[in-house]
Structure 1
Amino acid sequence: MTLRLILVRHAKSGWDDPLQDDHDRVLNPRGRDAAPRIGTWLATRGYRPAEVVSSTARRTLETWERMAPLLGEGTVMRRDPGLYHAGAERMLETLNGCAVSPVLMLGHNPGIADFAARLLRKPPDSPRFARYPTCATLIADFDTDDWSMVAFGTGTVIDFITPKDLEG
């Protein structure tokens, strides 16, 4: 059996209020536009999550809220405070605890870029991958039937996209 991960960095957020706590920042207009475009891209390719695991930051939750209507019913949503600015090791630990496939994980840089790079056998052929810009989305498969068996260097790239790639 194969397990599938959909790894999404939150969409672009605003810095309008310098006094606002980072955890509470919301999406800016560009981010509010990008999240549903990525959601549509996922839906048209059949990349529909069975489980979503998200950081508790407002911008990650809002990213999912804007994607969810495009990806159908029946998705289990789990908010994980440990994913807020998590490093690659913490993200892998969270993934190892998942139960169904596909999993969509929503997180932040710099951790998500490091996690994506370390998770794969070989990176995608994209100049944007190393930077993992806002709303970047990786689809990766793992040759196992148990998330607890997923380790760094075991993923195979299926797809990678950024909002910029969809501007066509």
Structure 2
Amino acid sequence: MKTLTLLRHAKSGWDDPVARDFDRPLNPKGQRAAAMMGRHLKAEGLEFDHVVASPAARVVETLAQVATGYGSDLAPHWDQRLYLASAATLLDVIHELPAGADRVLFSGHNPGLEELVLLLCADNALRDSVEVKFPTASLAEMRFDVAAWRDVKPGKAELLRFTRPRDLDSTLGPDYN
């Protein structure tokens, strides 16, 4: 068995006058959501043998806040391929994961993460929720009945959980103006 958890970066600041998309930081709501997701990961007993993440500023900050809430450093491996990656690229990265890693966390961006869940998971109510929207700072946990990551195939994953920040704290839901 292999388990892959996907964590989308938290809400970033669009009004920050940074030069590049890659450098956009989290906004205060995103910082709160990421720390809360870290506490949630800890409370649920989720542990990871290996963490792979986009090196974009908003992902780096997300994982720092998650680690604060989680209570320990996640020690991510920064992989440029995860920056705005497609589902196909993410699947390539999955196939290259270390054999000894059974529980892996990916942190990155949409639409790739959402598309990856839709590609890998069989239809069920949780998958339907992901298809509606995979909001910032949300996580999806998938289990694969395989011995090696290279054997992960589309449509064969079981989606175990899909948690959005607003599921844990309603103030972290969408802003309606």
Is the pair's TM-score, using the shorter chain for normalization, greater than 0.5? Answer: yes
Matched to 1:13, the amino acid is S
8 Å CA contact 2:12–2:58 kept in 1: the answer is: yes
Task: Give the secondary structure class of the aligned counterpart of 2:160.
Answer: strand
Given that 2:54 and 2:79 are in contact with CA atoms closer than 8 Å, whether structure 1 keeps it comes out as yes
1:144 CA drift (Å): 1.0
Runs of 4 or more off by more than 4 Å in structure 1? Answer: 72-76
Equivalent position amino acid for 1:24 in 2: D
CA RMSD of aligned residues (A): 1.8
Counterparts of residues 13-162 of structure 1 (less than 5 Å)? 13-71=12-70, 73=72, 75-99=74-98, 100-125=101-126, 128-130=129-131, 131-162=133-164
| TM-score after normalising by structure 2 | 0.87
| 8 Å CA contact 2:63, 2:74 repeated in 1 | no
Q: Match of 1:160, as an amino acid?
A: F
Q: CA deviation at 1:167?
A: 1.3
How many correspondences in the alignment?
167
Q: 1:12 and 1:74, CA in 2 relative to 1: closer, same or farther beyond 3 A?
A: closer
Counterparts of 2:128 and 2:165, CA distance in 1: 14
* Equivalent-residue separation in structure 2 for 1:75 and 1:63 (angstroms): 11
For structure 1, list consecutive stretches of 5 or more residues without a partner in the other structure: none
Alignment check: 8 A CA contact 1:34 1:135 kept: yes
Query: What's the secondary structure of 1:64's corresponding residue?
Result: helix
Query: Post-superposition shift, 1:17?
Result: 2.8
Task: Tell me, yes or no, if the aligned pair for 2:35 and 2:70 is still in contact at 8 Å.
Answer: no
Structure 2 residue ranges without an equivalent (≥5): 171-177
Paired residue type of 2:111: P
Q: Which amino acid aligns with 1:114?
A: E
Q: In structure 2, what is the Cα distance between the partners aligned to 1:54 and 1:14?
A: 19
Q: Return the offset for 1:63.
A: 0.7
Alpha carbons of 1:14 and 1:73: their partners in 2 closer, same or farther (altered >3 Å)? closer
Give the match's secondary structure for 2:76.
strand
Given that 2:18 and 2:24 are in contact with CA atoms closer than 8 Å, whether structure 1 keeps it comes out as no
| Corresponding residue number in structure 1 for 2:167 | 165
Cα distance in 1, alignment partners of residues 18 and 6 from structure 2: 30
Structure 1 residues 147 and 124, CA gap change in structure 2 (3 angstroms): farther
